[in-house]
Amino acid sequence: MRAARLFLVPVLAVLSLAAQESPLSGTWKQTKTDDIAAAIQNTVADMSFIKRPIARGRLTKLNAAYKKVVITISDKEVLVKFDERDAIHMPPGGQPAPWTREDGDKFMVAAQVSKDQMIQTFKNDEGERTNVFRLSPDGKSLTLSATVKSPKLPKPLTYSISFGR
């Protein structure tokens, strides 16, 4: 009987940890993407012929059709890693934290997590980006809906990328 109790304690501890892990956590691979180039063209279409190519180039550089996203959610940290880019570390609970992108641009970044959704926001003086990650009801797919806003853009850039496990 004592051996059975000793076995049960580690099993229950593992089950407890597994139950706490967010269903959003894991490695997700792209299954479908919107035409991001067309979305960018639609966003910059009303800009002057001088500003349009500059905005288009910058938006194209910063809005890739990510092939893979790794999400790790714990009670201490939220981590998001796109493709081979550096991981983005954020405190849980929506508290903003400073983050510097690979190109040196500085942002305040935050992640607000619920059972089947995470809202990730990036803000600086030039504008903001919101990534909404939504888990499908069956837990097998994840949709990233991105919105980029800036006072320099005539309207927001929006697009979606779908991922599967």
Question: Which residues pair with residue 89 across a beta bridge?
Answer: 79
Domain boundaries, the chain: 22-164
Starting from the edge strand earliest in sequence, which strands make up the sheet with 78-82, in order? 88-90, 78-82, 68-73, 26-33, 157-164, 141-149, 127-135, 117-124, 106-113, 97-100
**What's the predicted TM-score (pTM) here?**
0.86
Residue 21's pLDDT is what? 79
Find the distance separating the first CA and the last CA of the chain, reported in whole Å: 41
Q: In CATH, what class is 22-164?
A: mainly beta
SS3 content of the chain, % helix, strand, coil (to 5): 25, 40, 35
Of 134, 122, 155, residue with least CA distance to 41: 155
Q: Any idea what DSSP says for residue 87?
A: P
The dihedral region occupied by 44, where left means phi > 0, alpha psi between -120 and 50, and beta the remainder, is alpha
Residue 100 identity = T
Residue 20's pLDDT is what? 60
Q: What is the pLDDT along the chain (165 residues), one digit of tens a residue?
A: 555 444 444 443 333 334 467 999 999 999 999 999 999 999 999 999 999 999 999 999 999 999 999 999 999 999 999 999 999 999 989 999 999 999 999 999 999 999 999 999 999 999 999 999 999 999 999 999 999 999 999 999 999 999 999
Beta strand 78-82 with 157-164 is unpaired
